[in-house]
Amino acid sequence: MNASICKRLEWSRLDEARREAVLVRPVEARAPEVGEAVAGMLADIRERGAAALREYTRRFDGAGEDVLADFRAGADEFAAAADALSPTLRAAIDEAAVRIELFHREGMAQPYGVDTADGVRCERILRPIERVGLYVPAGSAPLPSTALMLGIPARLAGCREVVLCTPPRHDGSADPAVLYAAARCGIDTVFKLGGVQAIGAMAYGAGGVPRCDKLFGPGNGWVTEAKRQVSSAAGGVGVGIDMPAGPSEVLVIADAGANPAFVAADLLSQAEHGPDSQVLLLSEDAALLDAVAAGIETQLAALPRADIARKALQSSLLVQVESLDQAFEISNRYAPEHLILALRDARSQLPKVRVAGSVFLGDWAPEALGDYCSGTNHVLPTGGAARFCSGVSVASFQVAITVQEVSAAGLAVVGPCAAELAAAEGLDAHRRAVTLRLEAAA
């Protein structure tokens, strides 16, 4: 295999420092310079508002001044969107929406209540986040599927206002497939803004874009960094974010019985997302690694986005391991966004998976199904964040509020416990808030 494509490694020959280095994502290596540039752009957006948004949109999206008078997509664009799509594409979007809603509706959290003592009722109730901002990328390719993955859970959660930002095309219009998918989710507030400028507009309320309470959606390293910065801003201007959802990544664990063409296709399906995507293949079978490498070369030649995939493959790895157990150890350490188990009895190996954004079992579950229409969500944690957070669900668009209702009799049961703990902590006002009531009820 051409050495300029995927690196070939034997895990057992690497020392610990080298193992740590090879698992670093491409975007992590460029984080300091990206962080500084993003901070400057966000500060500019806060200061100059719409003028800054127009400047960045011209620079990064190539939209001319004449099409930037109003960032919001009008009713005429929505009306024309459906007609601009083929009937088969409209049907595919509709079909995917049904499965996504079925899966997410089934997994919705439910409020509950319990009497923790006689006269003490404790509850957990759910409320939708008031205003949410959805980012749908369209840099190198529009992603109407992301509009579905974000818009459907937001609707199920009952969010009162949903704002969607997506990059404009050169003529200043929004991609019609994205608009059609947004409308399918009941979203009619769409702004033609991409990248850092979209995140800044939704976080600060710039250029006519409403300020949002929480931002959602994947993107490149710049978008991910912008989300990180606006979520940690000081002075009461910070907003919530779903998770670190940056450049796409997949890790495949394959045994000798895996189909090399399938595995190669799965790796390429992630590599074509963008030059900062990363793909990894782990196998104990050297012949399988050889066959997949050859398959990548063959399939790459026929891909329209071959140049993008080739750049991503330069940061990707084909790793020979000593055993499947070692492969799972590496995978859990890497914490992949997508994990494909191309194994003969993949279901039996699932307990070995401790961390991953989404898992695909066996030869007939390509990751692409999760991207589009199996029903699960494709907005998933990247960069190792699967160690501590999960993919988008309806719960991502809700907040949980706890409630307690206590009668005088209930206070008599639990009050002495609270008073004793408050005294132990030296918080006498806490103690007296309880004991005054106990005395009054006596």
- Which residues are 139's β-sheet partners? none
Q: Is 386 within the bounds of a domain? A: no
Instruction: Look at residue 142 in the predicted model and tell me its pLDDT.
Output: 86
Q: Is the pLDDT of residue 25 over 90?
A: no
Q: Is the pLDDT of residue 4 over 50?
A: no
- Which residues are 127's β-sheet partners? 399
Helix segments in 139-285, DSSP class H: 144-157, 176-184, 195-204, 221-231, 260-271
Instruction: Look at residue 338 in the predicted model and tell me its pLDDT.
Output: 98
349 is in an annotated binding site: no
Q: How many domains does the chain have?
A: 3
Same domain assignment for residues 280 and 155? no
220 is in an annotated binding site: yes
Given a contact cutoff of 8 angstroms between Cβ atoms, the answer to whether 245 and 224 are in contact is yes
Q: Is 122 within the bounds of a domain? A: no
Please compute the mean of the pLDDT values over residues 282-286 and round it to a whole number: 98
Q: Is 46 within the bounds of a domain? A: yes
Q: Is the pLDDT of residue 3 over 50?
A: no
Residue 134, domain CATH: 3.40.50.1980
Q: Is the pLDDT of residue 1 over 60?
A: no
Instruction: Look at residue 66 in the predicted model and tell me its pLDDT.
Output: 61
Q: Active site residue: 104, 272, 338, 378, which one?
A: 338
Tens of pLDDT, residues 381-424: 999 999 999 999 999 999 999 999 999 999 999 999 999 999 99
Same domain assignment for residues 279 and 309? yes
Same domain assignment for residues 338 and 436? no
Task: Report the distance separating Cα 30 and Cα 386, nearest Å.
Answer: 21
Same domain assignment for residues 251 and 209? no
Element (H, E) at 104: helix 87-106
338 a catalytic residue: yes
Q: Is 388 within the bounds of a domain? A: no
Angle (CA) 359-159-244 rounded to 5° is 40
Sequence-distant (≥ 6) Cβ neighbours of residue 98 within 8 angstroms = none
CB 286: neighbour CB atoms within 10 A?
A: 12
Q: Is the pLDDT of residue 29 over 60?
A: no
Given a contact cutoff of 8 angstroms between Cβ atoms, the answer to whether 148 and 97 are in contact is yes
430 is in an annotated binding site: yes
Separation of CA 395 from chain center: 14
Tens of pLDDT, residues 68-102: 778 999 999 999 999 999 999 999 999 999 999 99
396 is in an annotated binding site: no
Q: Is 385 within the bounds of a domain? A: no
Same domain assignment for residues 96 and 210? yes
Among the candidates 243, 277, 298, a domain finishes at 243
Q: Is 425 within the bounds of a domain? A: yes
Task: Report the distance separating Cα 206 and Cα 290, nearest Å.
Answer: 52
Tens of pLDDT, residues 210-265: 999 999 999 988 999 999 999 987 665 579 999 988 889 999 999 999 999 999 99
For the chain, the residue count is: 442
Domain of 433 in residue numbering reads as 407-441
Q: Is 78 within the bounds of a domain? A: yes
- Amino acid at position 85, single letter: L
Same domain assignment for residues 264 and 202? no
Q: Is 311 within the bounds of a domain? A: yes
Q: Active site residue: 337, 367, 378, 420, which one?
A: 337
CB 66: neighbour CB atoms within 10 A?
A: 8
197 is in an annotated binding site: yes
The whole model's pTM is what?
0.93
Same domain assignment for residues 158 and 205? yes
Among the candidates 181, 211, 243, a domain finishes at 243
420 a catalytic residue: no
371 is in an annotated binding site: yes
